[in-house]
Amino acid sequence: MFGSKSTQTSPSTTRSGYGNAALQNGDTSSELTQQSQQQGRQPARYANATLTPPVDVVEDSTGITLYADLPGVPKENLKLQVEADTLTIEAESALAAPEGLQSSHTEVGLGRFHRVFSLSKELDTENVSAELAQGVLKLRIPKAAHAQPRRINVKVA
């Protein structure tokens, strides 16, 4: 029902145990990268690098819920897109030094996230809902009406 596309050679799974899920780094020339480079927030060595956010996927009878860890990402720097059967998550953290201070050493300079998933035809991509709270993105994708479990009434003859 749900998997992610892969361009890497090493296997990877989501924490939910979906063994067929793998990573996709995808196109690094996104709008988010261009914005951050123009604003000078990231060193040049990180210009084309992305992180793959860890994801939990929970399925129930009415759909799936995806939880993605996106620490330091504000709503304004989050881009979610569903096109055909593909879900794309792009985000950039906004970890700036406090006003009036200058960093002499920075180890947390990379804050770009990118992940792509293939969605099953059983999912209703027209009714996706999303919430972002405390660095965790929660996406709810319901099953399409034809894929929902339904009770069949039996008539007595």
Confidence (pLDDT) at 98: 80
125 with 147: CB under 8 angstroms?
no
CA atoms within 13 A of residue 48's CA, in its CB half-sphere: 2
- 2 close to 114: Cβ distance less than 8 angstroms: no
pLDDT at 149: 77
Residue 76 has a CB neighbour count (10 Å cut-off) of 8
Dist. CA 53–CA 147, nearest whole Å: 29
Model pTM score: 0.64
Give the per-residue pLDDT at 68. 97
Q: Quote the pLDDT of residue 102.
A: 82
- Structure confidence at residue 136 (pLDDT): 97
Looking at residue 84, what is its pLDDT?
86
The whole-number pLDDT of residue 145 equals 81
Spans of the chain below 50 pLDDT: 6-40, 42
pLDDT, position 15: 38
Beta pairing class for 78-83 and 63-69: unpaired
